[in-house]
Amino acid sequence: MNNFKILTEEQQEQIHQTALRLLAEVGVKFHNQEALEVLEKAGAKVEGNLVKIPDSLVKESLEITPSEFTLYNRDLTNSFKWGVNSDIHLGGAGSAIILLDSDGKTYRKPKTEDLINLFKIIDALPEISWMEPGMIVKDVPPEIVGVWRFYLRLKYGSKPSRIDGISEEDLIDNISLLRVVRENEEDFFKKPFSICGACPTPPLNWTNEGSAFLVKGARAKLPISFTPMIFTGVGAPATVAASVAQHVAEALAGLVLVEQITPGIPVVYSGAPVYMDMRYGSVCVSPIEALMVTMAHTQMAHYYNIPSGTGDITGHSDSKLIDFQCGAESALSQVLFALSGNKGPGGVGFLASQEGYSLEKLVMDCEVFRYTKKLINGISVSPETLAFEVMKEVVPEGDFLTHEHTLKWFRREYEFSELFDRQSRVRWQESGGKEIFERAREKVNEIVTNTQLNRLSPEVDKVLDEKMDSVLKRRGMKLEELKTLLPHN
């Protein structure tokens, strides 16, 4: 299926030229000395922290950026391509700070047990190809949260994962943990398990931390994901077009930096734009205007022939509960991002304007993704699916129900939902009259109760624990002090 284009070719070119002017005339601030040195050596004009990047440097960097790359799971038993023309691959989880409990009404602080259950569920859901950072748990000291959740992800989560951290120190330590799982250098570089995510701070500003993630990630030769978090009306102009142009400029600035450090390094052009509702002063992720920015930056990624993705905004809602608003906003973002050609939408399970997470909503969002993926794959048209001869045979009798063509194709042609109820009203009532949240809760409980964690081999697990212990000791703690939070079997 051809992508839905929210921008005309002329509008794409206008946005591109505006982004180039922003880079060359206005400049982007980098607050990291190594980044400044790399960019100045490459030919950018550096004035203190302000960097003005010429068009030629942008063009040169884009020319060496790959249009696709391959991510491998932790155990090197599976992989997928992420690229301009690849299949769509959904990413799950993200950095929520509160969890909607299983009653569907009460929020609470997430714990390590919740995070481990999340990794178990994500590994069990075939709709999800890769993982975002997990919830920010509150049962460990805040200064180790950024390494704790990546350690747990390596220990219990097998799908490819975005490497993360709350600080530069976290990222450095997480890369050291990752090297335990990728035991040799060739596998570390050529069969990557993680992509390194980095976010600028609008407007046109890469903080020391954001810049350091670019530098350290590129030095480690990890694929890099740029995630501008355009705050329209506050950190960016109030118009969608200007927000997209600024979004492009911030991403291209990061791309130029990493391609100068490691030429040919794979990148993902992501984004997590938000809007301020001026009536309340609230930060909103799900307004249609924010979705339009994501659709536009996806189209610009295709314009530059680089892979596209999103931050933790796919399948997201600003609603605080699992209600109609939640379902409408969550489904709308999935469908629109997929139709625009986004190849790596990430998030799902989020609500409450990116504060909250729900395991039940996660499995509901995956149900939506199955239908979304079927939609973008289009309709299969062939002599057999057109079924002229079948109609010619059956129409005089008027009954296709028992025909062998129906028996062959009804399972191939249709997606049968586990969660959406399609029974008659009477049968629904007779079977218990369950709402979708209750059915989702049952699925979550079934996975958590009956699915085994994807553990490392005992030998690698031991080395990972030793490495984590050394990381924690440097921070004044010991792994032994946290062992009670981990599964015992």
Compute the distance between CA of residue 219 and CA of residue 226 in angstroms, rounded to an integer: 16
Going by C-beta distance under 8 Å and a sequence separation of 6 or more, which residues neighbour residue 456? 74, 154, 155, 181, 464
The sign one gets for the Cα dihedral 94, 223, 83, 120 is negative
Compute the distance between CA of residue 108 and CA of residue 460 in angstroms, rounded to an integer: 34
User: Looking at residue 335, what is its pLDDT?
Assistant: 97
Residue 372, burial from CB neighbour count under 10 angstroms (0-12, 13-18, 19+):
buried
- CATH number of the 63-377 domain: 3.20.20.480
Compute the distance between CA of residue 43 and CA of residue 41 in angstroms, rounded to an integer: 5
Compute the distance between CA of residue 251 and CA of residue 172 in angstroms, rounded to an integer: 22
CA angle 139, 320, 309 (to 5 degrees): 80
Q: Are 402 and 159 in contact (CB under 8 A)?
A: no
CA angle 240, 284, 321 (to 5 degrees): 145
Q: Is the peptide bond before 307 cis (omega within 30 degrees of 0)?
A: no
- The count of residues in the chain is 489
Compute the distance between CA of residue 143 and CA of residue 473 in angstroms, rounded to an integer: 13
Instruction: Measure the N-to-C terminal CA separation of the chain; round to a whole number of Å.
Output: 47
Q: β-strands 50-52, 45-47: how paired?
A: antiparallel
Per-residue CA distances from 264 to 2, 41, 267, 373, 425 (Å):
28, 18, 9, 30, 57
The set of long-range contacts for 163-171, using a CB threshold of 8 Å and a minimum separation of 24, is 163/194, 163/195, 163/196, 163/197, 163/217, 163/222, 164/95, 164/133, 164/197, 165/213, 167/209, 168/208, 168/209, 168/212, 168/213, 168/216, 170/146, 171/146, 171/196, 171/212, 171/213, 171/216, 171/217
User: Looking at residue 1, what is its pLDDT?
Assistant: 67
User: Looking at residue 278, what is its pLDDT?
Assistant: 84
User: Looking at residue 486, what is its pLDDT?
Assistant: 96
Q: Are 479 and 468 in contact (CB under 8 A)?
A: yes
Compute the distance between CA of residue 87 and CA of residue 144 in angstroms, rounded to an integer: 36
Closest CA to 284 of 361, 352, 185, 195: 352
User: Looking at residue 102, what is its pLDDT?
Assistant: 95
User: Looking at residue 366, what is its pLDDT?
Assistant: 97
Q: Residue 100 pairs with which residues in a beta bridge? A: 107
User: Looking at residue 116, what is its pLDDT?
Assistant: 96
**H or E segment and range at residue 298:** helix 288-304
User: Looking at residue 132, what is its pLDDT?
Assistant: 87
Q: What is the pTM of this model?
A: 0.94
Compute the distance between CA of residue 174 and CA of residue 464 in angstroms, rounded to an integer: 11
Compute the distance between CA of residue 260 and CA of residue 98 in angstroms, rounded to an integer: 39
Render each residue's pLDDT in the chain as its tens digit; 489 residues: 678 999 999 999 999 999 999 999 999 999 999 999 999 999 999 999 999 999 999 999 999 999 999 999 999 999 999 999 999 999 998 899 999 999 999 999 999 999 999 999 999 999 999 998 889 999 999 999 999 999 999 999 999 999 988 899 999 999 999 999 987 888 888 999 999 999 999 999 999 999 999 999 999 999 999 999 999 889 999 999 999 999 999 999 999 999 999 999 999 999 999 988 888 888 899 999 999 999 999 999 999 999 999 999 999 999 999 999 999 999 999 999 999 999 999 999 999 999 999 999 999 999 999 999 999 999 999 999 999 999 999 998 778 998 999 999 988 898 888 899 999 999 999 999 999 999 999 999 999 999 999 999 999 999 999 999 999 999 999 999 999 999 986
Domain-by-domain residue ranges, the chain?
Answer: 63-377
Closest CA to 260 of 300, 224, 297: 224
Which 3 state secondary structure label does DSSP give 239? coil
